[in-house]
A and B are shown apart, each in its own frame.
Chain A
Amino acid sequence: MARRASASPFACPRVVPVAVHSVPFSMKPAAFNPTHLVACLLVGVTAVLLSFGALVTTYEAAMAVPDWPATYGHNMFLFPMAEWLHGPWDLFLEHGHRLLGALAGIVSLVLAAVAWRTDTRPAVRWLTVAAVALVVLQGCLGGARVLLDDKTIAKVHACTGPLFFAVAVAIATLSRRPADTAQVGVARVPVALLVAAYFQLVAGAQLRHLDAAVDPATFRGLVALHILGAVAVTVLAVVGAVLLTERGSPAARLWSRVVVALVCVQMLLGAAAWVANWGVPSALVSESWQWSEPLRARSVWSAGVVTGHVVLGMLILAAAVVLAIKAGAVGTAAAGERDAHLLPGRVFA
């Protein structure tokens, strides 16, 4: 009882629960799990989709195709391949983003069908439904953004994308092994990290889709919010890693370190993104260190850095999802219970 009374993330006795540490990663091959396979495919497709989306914003290519769901009057899927691949860069990005979005939608539907046929776990099943709902919503938002040519919708579209990615990653993680889902326990620090990572993406989306008509004070506020978000994510990542190093499962330890590593790279990319857009801040360095070369608008370097910052932010969110699940996993399923979640007839190994 005394231990429970002092249960806080920072003040806890060094007592390691047997359930977590006495069961190492099992080397026994798990049963073939079609849900996990399709979920992994969805994560891969979504990662490419979001990267295209980030490039679309970097190159302001969202309106490179004025109609939707058609592409310059063609059925989206029948748009001439040569014109897409060898046409303008903006068109390549926007049309590619649409095709990938459609592919993500199809994979989501397949995933839901597979999950409801082969997996008994409610969490996995309902998350696949959420994925389908989100991908449909996201597609509609993308269409509305084009048809209405509206930046507010673009912002919402940019916030829903990572949410869908997080759900896809959660499905892939939860469906991987039953041990992870025996009890979806979630610890506070990793969940706080997950929420902070998402809100950081939301703040970033406000900066990326900024309306040129807003005043400097609004932009200053958004920058401050984004920097505060970065501090919050960093602190939570480090605290989570420290706590999980002492008391977490091997998987949680690993993922907490992955998050810290990604966040470190992200801080550098964030600074580089600022420099790529606006140069070295004069308030931080003396004139002696200003570059004697001008910045280059639309250079591959600047576009790569800025887009990389967005994509890495999404990867941090994905890693935070995995961490939140791993940190909460009990991992106590005995070998005999390993495949219990699979419906009879669906176990192939």
Chain B
Amino acid sequence: MIKPRQSPLPGMKMVSRSGLRVVPVLAVLVAAVGCGRTPPAAFRLNMVQATKSAAPEAGMEKPWAGWARERQAQVATILEAMFGTPDEPVALAETGLDHAKLALAAGPVRSDIVGRKNGLYREHCAHCHGISGDGMGPTAAFLNPYPRDYRPGKFKFKGTWRDARPSRDDLVRLLHQGVPGSSMPSFALLPPAQVDALVEYVRYLSIRGETELALYSYAEQELGTDDRFPETREFLVDEILTPIVEKWQGAEEAAIPIAAVPANVDFSKPGDDPANRESVARGRTLFHGDGGCVKCHGVTALGDGQANDYDDWNKVIVEWSKEVSGGLAAGKSDAARSAWLHAAEDVIEGDALRPRTIPPRNLRLGLYRGGRRPLDLYRRLYTGINGAPMPGVGPSGPGGKGSVPDEEIWHIVNYIRSLPYDFDGELGVDRPLVAKDRF
């Protein structure tokens, strides 16, 4: 007779052996969840722009969904022909991109030669910036600010004119110093050759993304519902690609001029040092006056001014959402428009991150995302931040005139550098946390 097993611990029930056998079976089942080969990486279309640009003409008779799919398929085909795939990128000679560097950064992470690692972009960047460089990697929704979407070709922290593309040196510097206060790390520990390869791949993704945007823009303005993109070299390379590449190549010559540092500015000493008091006072006057900084950063520079604005990446989604929801609320005029609006709604929900406002920086914290060197702050002030509401106080382009003379910008830099120390006592005894309290 088999004796029933009893628990050695009163109150704790025994688990039967047959029950225990379920555990490894369950484990194998769980391990096998999602089994099936990982599909090869593919670029995603910019569905926001693809759908936005595919507004149907009034009285369109074709079913909208099928027509839109056909157009998207043509864009995907063109882009693959011009730029290849994430595993096998193509660099047309006209792009000026270095194919060897692209090959090092592209594809899955692997080494075929001892000491040479390929797939650097997927190893270091894709989890946040996405395979397509759309800022929609798996981790993107958790990060604040969202990872950069390279496709519009806009970069915030650079030493070129506001609307110019960043130079290679700008991107290398950004990778070296990271973006403090965000999830973008410093890659200073990577060998320079790997950083160069990553920079080249980011440029590639940007050029590819801008080409895609240019195609949608062309379609919106030039193509009727029965038209297809001309698949000719003259159109695709000369008309679409070349202007984009010229902007990137021109970036190397588009550095802003750096004015000489005035004699009464000594960045080796803190803001309350007698050597700097005059300069800091001048900077404060400009900050509150001609510089117009207080509008967003607030009179106390705590970043408590206007805070309901969006950067360009989010603004696209916000404005288009309003347009779509307005169209849906107004009722549908015909089947094609109704299908388009509903597709747009789905794209906004599924292919875009929820828009966030961009708060002005609290300058009392000593936290400067674009770098904390005086030169970095000078550049931020001179050109503003491309893609963000922050305007520049310098001229918008060569030969222009800014709201603050170039040399005077150094005084604002000096004043900003003094703010974390609360030397001016502006915040009073009930002041909120500033940088010096953290140490």
**Interface set of A (CB-CB < 8 Å, partner B):** 3, 7-13, 15-17, 19-20, 60, 62-66, 72, 83, 87-88, 90-91, 148-152, 155-156, 159-160, 163, 183, 185-189, 191, 194-195, 198-199, 202, 206, 210-220, 223, 243-244, 247-249, 252, 277-279, 281-283, 287-299, 327-331
Instruction: Please classify the interface of chain B as helix (H, G, I), strand (E, B), loop, or mixed, using the class held by over half of its residues.
Output: loop
In the bound assembly, the distance between CA atoms of A65 and B27 in angstroms comes to 29
Q: Is B77 an interface residue (CB 8 A)?
A: no
Contacts of B27 in A (CB 8 A): 159, 163, 198, 202
Selected from B108, B182, B183, B190, the residue in CB contact (under 8 A) with A298 is B190
Contacts of A291 in B (CB 8 A): 180-181
| Inter-subunit contact B136/A212 (CB<8 Å) | no
| Inter-subunit contact B367/A297 (CB<8 Å) | no
Selected from A17, A187, A278, the residue in CB contact (under 8 A) with B142 is A278
Within 8 A of A (CB), among B23-74: 23-24, 26-27, 30-32, 34-39, 41-42
| Inter-subunit contact A66/B112 (CB<8 Å) | yes
Question: In the assembled complex, how far is the CB of residue A130 from the closest CB belonging to chain B, in whole angstroms?
Answer: 8
Q: List 20 A-B contacts (CB under 8 A).
A: A8-B13, A10-B11, A66-B110, A72-B114, A87-B115, A90-B111, A159-B31, A191-B20, A202-B27, A202-B30, A212-B138, A247-B12, A249-B8, A277-B183, A281-B142, A287-B359, A288-B365, A288-B432, A290-B180, A294-B180
Q: Is B131 an interface residue (CB 8 A)?
A: yes
| Inter-subunit contact B181/A152 (CB<8 Å) | no
Instruction: Write the chain A residue with the least CB distance to B16.
Output: A186
Question: In the assembled complex, how far is the CB of residue A132 from the closest CB belonging to chain B, in whole angstroms?
Answer: 15
In the bound assembly, the distance between CA atoms of A16 and B11 in angstroms comes to 10
Q: Using an 8 Å CB-CB cutoff, how does the interface string of B242-282 with A read, 1 for contact, 0 for none?
A: 00000000000000000000000000000000000000000
**Interface set of B (CB-CB < 8 Å, partner A):** 5-15, 20, 23-24, 26-27, 30-32, 34-39, 41-42, 108-112, 114-115, 117, 119, 122-124, 126-127, 130-131, 136-144, 177-190, 353, 359, 362, 365-368, 372, 432-433, 435, 438
Other A-B pairs, 15, CB within 8 Å; known A9-B12, A287-B367: A15-B10, A64-B117, A66-B111, A88-B117, A90-B111, A150-B37, A163-B24, A163-B27, A183-B8, A199-B30, A213-B42, A219-B138, A292-B435, A294-B184, A297-B189
Selected from B30, B39, B177, B365, the residue in CB contact (under 8 A) with A294 is B177
Instruction: Write the chain A residue with the least CB distance to B86.
Output: A213
Selected from B13, B109, B432, the residue in CB contact (under 8 A) with A7 is B13
| Inter-subunit contact B8/A287 (CB<8 Å) | no
The 8 closest A-B pairs by CB, nearest first: A12-B11, A294-B178, A63-B110, A212-B126, A187-B12, A219-B138, A159-B31, A295-B185
Contacts of A7 in B (CB 8 A): 7, 10-13
Contacts of A213 in B (CB 8 A): 39, 41-42, 131
Knowing A195-B23, A294-B177, A294-B185, say if A210 contacts B138 (CB, 8 Å): yes
Question: In the assembled complex, how far is the CB of residue B202 from the closest CB belonging to chain A, in whole angstroms?
Answer: 15
In the bound assembly, the distance between CA atoms of A110 and B234 in angstroms comes to 71
Selected from A20, A186, A219, the residue in CB contact (under 8 A) with B14 is A186
In the bound assembly, the distance between CA atoms of A216 and B138 in angstroms comes to 4
In the bound assembly, the distance between CA atoms of A20 and B138 in angstroms comes to 51
Knowing A65-B111, A151-B38, A202-B30, say if A188 contacts B8 (CB, 8 Å): no
| Inter-subunit contact B111/A187 (CB<8 Å) | no
In the bound assembly, the distance between CA atoms of A282 and B142 in angstroms comes to 9
Knowing A63-B111, A152-B37, say if A185 contacts B185 (CB, 8 Å): no
| Inter-subunit contact B131/A188 (CB<8 Å) | no
From A155, A202, A215, residue with most partner B Cβ within 10 Å: A215
Instruction: Write the chain A residue with the least CB distance to B11.
Output: A12
